[in-house]
């Protein structure tokens, strides 16, 4: 087992990375302050891991709630189901919520924890690669609104994160590859050595080798933890973690969160950001082409869905949280391994980039 620490003063917490982390009785006990627990999961994860987690908990009051699975259920209405369960089972301010599942479960459970009786404790037990390398770390919680992704939420840190590699064995291939997109992101924005490692280990990554999985999760959490420690509430450098996300969120919103998976949309968005960076003179054609080939070798998309038009793309981007004074602030690449947050670009370059992709003109 490997352990990382997210250093946030009195809100610092550990990330445990290993196999069968919650199989042993009492494994999570040190991070459950009170005697009340509600485990929140979904209908896909519950048959696989809920009983095992419940049997490991030693608290006298342990309840569980199974939510429907899917990004389309990441809504205030679904969070209300968590509140209903907490109130119906008479959970007090001493309760601890445990999020057992992927990013959707983690985001909603964290938001419920941040807001139930003005804040209760919670733990993250992420079961997808995407949630292990990204959403479970850093304290971003929330839900989607029909007009925009993650528009309602709060910064609220967990007491600990348990990234169990064993749960990745049951992860469907498409979900796994969607998580790999976020792994690539860390290399692109600030860890060139890691980016080269990903290129050199594509075969092992695709094969889900134990060594590759552990290295991916560890290096990704290390990168994210370092950024969060410097900028917890995303006032500056933390925004670089959104590489590809503004483009990707627009795709998700237009498709009503029923098309590309989040990581798939981010992969397309990163490729779009790289192409826009090329048009600004920051990346070479060879670097953009190499990224496209890498994404495709990892089974990730590089073209936008047919539903996307320049008009609906721009309209969706205009509703993004990162819009400031009417300008969409984008994360772009000054070079491979160096991200920049900027709203200072010619609008026609953004429009050209979107138009190229909407016309299905693949760059590489």
Is residue 145 part of the annotated active site? The answer reads: no
pLDDT at 86: 98
Please determine, for residue 363, whether its predicted confidence score (pLDDT) is greater than 60.
no
List the domain boundaries for the chain: 2-170, 173-358
183-216 pLDDT, tens digit per residue, is 999 999 999 999 999 999 999 999 999 999 999 9
Which residue in the list 74, 219, 238, 278 is annotated as catalytic?
A: 238
**Residue 140 annotated as catalytic:** yes
Q: What is the pLDDT at residue 277?
A: 98
90-104: pLDDT as tens digits: 999 999 999 999 999
224 is annotated as an active-site residue: yes
Q: What is the pTM of this model?
A: 0.90
State yes or no: is 177 an active-site residue: no
pLDDT (tens digit, 9 = 90+) per residue, 212-242?
999 999 999 999 999 999 999 988 899 999 9
Q: Which residue has the higher pLDDT, 264 or 22?
A: 264
Q: Exactly one of 224, 278, 279, 329 is catalytic; which is it?
A: 224
The pLDDT of residue 325? 65
User: Per-residue pLDDT tens for 344-358?
Assistant: 999 999 999 999 999
User: Pick the catalytic residue: 74, 185, 245, 278?
Assistant: 245
* CA separation for the pair 25, 319 (Å, rounded): 46
Q: Are 59 and 28 in contact (CB under 8 A)?
A: no
Q: Which one of 71, 215, 234, 264 is the catalytic residue?
A: 234
Band (21; pLDDT cuts 50, 70, 90) = confident
- CA 302 and chain centroid, separation: 19
pLDDT bin (cut points 50, 70, 90) of residue 146 is: confident
Burial 89-114 (b: 16+ CB within 10 A, else e): eebeeebbbbbbbbbbbbbbbbbbbb
Q: What is the pLDDT of residue 319?
A: 83
CATH for the stretch 173-358: 1.20.1090.10
Q: What is the pLDDT of residue 235?
A: 85
Provide the mean pLDDT of the chain: 94
**Going along the chain, which residue ranges are E strands?**
2-6, 13-18, 36-42, 61-67, 95-101, 121-126, 140-145, 148-155, 161-164, 323-324, 327-328, 330-335, 338-342
Q: Span 62-69, mean pLDDT? A: 98
Catalytic, out of 74, 140, 149, 219: 140
The DSSP line for 121-146 is EEEEEE-SHHIIIIITSS-EEEEEET
- Per annotation, catalytic residue among 262, 278, 279, 322: 262
Residues 6+ apart with CB under 8 A from 98: 28, 37, 38, 39, 40, 53, 109, 122, 123, 125
- Identify whether 359 is a catalytic site residue: no
249 labelled catalytic: yes
Q: What's the pLDDT at 361? A: 52
Q: Which residue has the higher pLDDT, 24 or 289?
A: 289
Catalytic residue among 242, 264, 278, 322: 242
Classified by CATH at the fold level, domain 2-170 comes out as Rossmann fold (3.40.50)
- Nearest 10 degrees: Cα torsion 278, 305, 141, 172: -110
- Whether 91 is catalytic: no
Q: Is the pLDDT of residue 23 over 80?
A: no
pLDDT tens digit sequence for 300-345: 999 999 989 999 999 999 887 667 667 889 999 999 999 999 999 9
Q: CB of 256 within 8 A of CB of 282?
A: no
Domains 2-170 and 173-358 share a fold: no
Q: Is 230 marked active-site?
A: no
């Amino acid at each position: 087992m490997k352990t990382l620490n997210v250093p946030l003063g009195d809100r610092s917490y550990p990330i445990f990375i290993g196999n069968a982390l919650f199989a042993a009785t009492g494994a999570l006990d040190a991070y459950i302050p009170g005697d009340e627990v509600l485990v929140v999961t979904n209908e896909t994860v519950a048959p696989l891991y809920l009983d095992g987690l419940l049997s490991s908990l030693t608290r006298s009051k342990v309840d569980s709630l199974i939510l429907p699975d899917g990004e389309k259920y990441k809504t205030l209405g679904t969070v209300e189901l968590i509140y209903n369960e907490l109130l119906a089972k008479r959970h007090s301010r001493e309760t601890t919520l445990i999020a057992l599942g992927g990013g959707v479960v983690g985001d909603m459970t964290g938001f419920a924890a941040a807001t139930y009786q003005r804040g209760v404790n919670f733990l993250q037990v992420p079961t997808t690669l995407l949630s292990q390398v990204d959403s479970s770390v850093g304290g971003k919680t929330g839900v989607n609104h029909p007009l925009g992704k993650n528009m309602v939420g709060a910064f609220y840190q967990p007491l600990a994160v348990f990234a169990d590699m064993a749960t990745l064995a049951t992860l469907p291939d498409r979900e796994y590859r969607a998580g790999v997109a976020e792994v690539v992101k860390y290399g692109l924005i600030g860890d060139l050595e890691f980016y080269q490692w990903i290129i050199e280990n594509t075969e092992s990554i695709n094969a889900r080798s134990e060594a590759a999985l552990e290295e991916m999760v560890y290096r990704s959490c290390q990168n994210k933890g370092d950024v969060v420690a410097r900028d917890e509430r995303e006032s500056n450098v933390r925004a670089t973690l959104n590489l590809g996300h503004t483009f990707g969120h627009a795709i998700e919103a237009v498709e009503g969160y029923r098309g590309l998976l989040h990581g798939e949309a981010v992969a397309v968005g990163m490729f779009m950001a790289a192409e826009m960076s090329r048009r600004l003179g920051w990346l070479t054609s060879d670097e953009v082409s190499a990224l496209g080939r890498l994404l495709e070798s990892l089974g990730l998309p590089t073209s936008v869905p047919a539903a996307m038009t320049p008009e609906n793309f721009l309209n969706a981007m205009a509703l993004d949280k990162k819009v400031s004074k009417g300008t969409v602030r984008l994360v772009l690449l000054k070079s491979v391994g160096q991200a920049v947050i900027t709203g200072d670009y010619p609008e026609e370059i953004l429009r050209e980039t979107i138009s190229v992709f909407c016309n299905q003109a693949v760059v590489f």
